[in-house]
Every structure is written in C-alpha cells, then in structure tokens.
Amino acid sequence: MEQLSQEQLKEFDEKGFLFFPSLFETAEMESLTSQLDDLFALDIVCNLREKGKKAVRTNWAAHNYNSAFARLSRHPRMIKPVEQLFDEGVYMHQFKVNAKAAFDGDVWQWHQDFGTWHADDLMPEPRAMNIAIFLDDVNEHNGPLMFIPGSHKQGVLEAGHDTETTSYPLWTLDPKTISSLVREGGIVSPKGRAGSMILFHSCLVHASGSNLSPWDRKAVYLSLCAVSNHIKRFKRPGYIAGREFAPIECLPDDCLVQDYEVSLPWSDGIPTEELQGI
C-alpha cells in the first residue's frame, strides 16, 4: 500500500484519519520491538520518563541512532501516502516511540498536534501528518488513541499550555471545546494487532487515557511535514523538532527485514547543537 484509493481519500477528507489493520507482518514488527529494551535503557535526554516514574513515556529520534528505526523512517508504506496527500516531498518533523507502559503509562490530554507545532516551532500551515504503527496489540484497556472524527475541519482551535499534568508540556483543549466537538463527531478508538497503522491529520483532535492494564501499548510515530512548510523557529531541541528539511528518500518495501545501509548521524552521540533551542 503506497497509494491511497479515491475511496480512501474521500474517507480521510471526511474523518481526518485512515486505519490500516495488520499492514505490517510479524517479522517486520519483531525487527523493531527487539530494539526497544536497549533503546529504553539508554541514559540519554531522548528518553523522557513518566512523571515521578522510571517508565519511559517517549523515546525521541531513534531514527538518528538505531538502524532498524532508521529504515522504518524511510519506509514507502508510511512515506508515500503522505507525499500523495501533499503532492510534494516530506521531511521528518518528529520521530518518536510512545511507550504507554503497563500500569504506568500516563494520559495524553486532548490536543491537536499542529497547535503545538505552530505555537512552539512556527510551522506555517497544517501541511503535516502523523503516521502511527502499533508495536503492541492495542485493545480497549491499554490506553488506545481516541479521535474525534471530522474535528480536523475546525482548523486550529484555541488551546492552553499545560506544563503540569504530565512530564511533557502540551497545548491542550478545554472540556467545553471537547464536549462540543464530541456531540458533533463522537469518539472512535482504532484497535488491532501489532503492525496496524493509522494515518491522521495534524489538526485532528485526539487523546489517550492512562494504561491501567497489564499490557504495554507502544507505538511509533512519524510526524511528516511538507518540505515547503518547514518550521521557522528552533525553540525546541532538534531531537523533538527536526531541523533537517531534505525530502525523505524511501527504501525498498522489504527494508524492515533486509539490512539496507542507512545513515546514523547520531550513532556517536547527539550533537550539542541538537540538544539546545536557538
């Protein structure tokens, strides 16, 4: 699946997201999940912990220092549909693994990703997209993503900067706004096996609850931005908001199970300039 059909394009326009159950095979997922323990054990700034806990909340920018995730960041099943939607090349604005550990995974409040990217990074327009791949099976108990279908059509909504609720500051939406949006669009939670993929608009309102279950809910996210729409401010570190705007060049479709050579610019450590805002 590299090109979206007309039916899929219509569905995406209406709902703001597309769900592709079991798009990746078990062997492809194992090439990624086998790396996670080592990634999460690293004592680096790219591992953001849950507030007051040792559990990793987010691992940032593994595509710059881990070969398996570097190959994933160039996978045509993830890149080509976004290029189709924008009709141009895309670059990696963010690459992250959200861990949502069993018993310890905290909430992600209601928000729009573009709201944060615009406010913090001065991304000009919502010509950016999220691609998420389930690294674990996702069910109704382990903190699945919640979407409000059609909410992307509202554009950028007024948000407040929440720096207290979790370990990661987020521009969040108030309960009155969420209630109004839900009355119109409802709430859906895509669930499925590891290897399932979601493509969703950067203005789609979404959240996830805490994970009180005994099952991890890890997912890897590529936030892809049209090259012509790159950010204008480097307030945040480069491992959170990417500063390399060259269009991504895809690898062959079997790149998760074949050892293609990839560049790992941070294999010897994160450059000092990428650790700081400018």
Nearest CA to 113 out of 65, 147, 79 is that of 147
Using a pLDDT cut of 70, give the percent of the chain over it: 97
In 3D, which of 46, 25, 52, 6 has the Cα closest to residue 167? 52
CB 157 within 8 A of CB 177: yes
How many whole angstroms from its chain centre is CA 173?
19
Neighbours of 273 (CB within 10 A): 11
The string over 230-241, giving b where at least 16 C-beta atoms fall within 10 Å of a residue's C-beta and e elsewhere, is: bbeebebbbbbb
Report, at the CATH architecture level, how domain 14-274 is classified: Sandwich (2.60)
Q: Which residue has the tokens 């007051």?
A: 52
Q: Single out the residue of 116, 146, 137, 119 nearest to residue 223, CA to CA.
A: 116
Mean pLDDT across the stretch 94-98?
A: 96
Q: What is the pTM of this model?
A: 0.93
pLDDT tens-digit series, residues 122-152: 999 999 999 999 999 999 999 999 999 999 9
- Determine the 3-state secondary structure of 174 from DSSP: coil
Rounded (5°) CA angle 267-221-198: 150
- Write down the domain spans for the chain: 14-274
Which pLDDT score, from 0 to 100, does residue 167 have? 60
pLDDT in tens, 32-84: 999 999 999 999 999 988 888 888 889 999 999 999 999 999 999 999 999 99
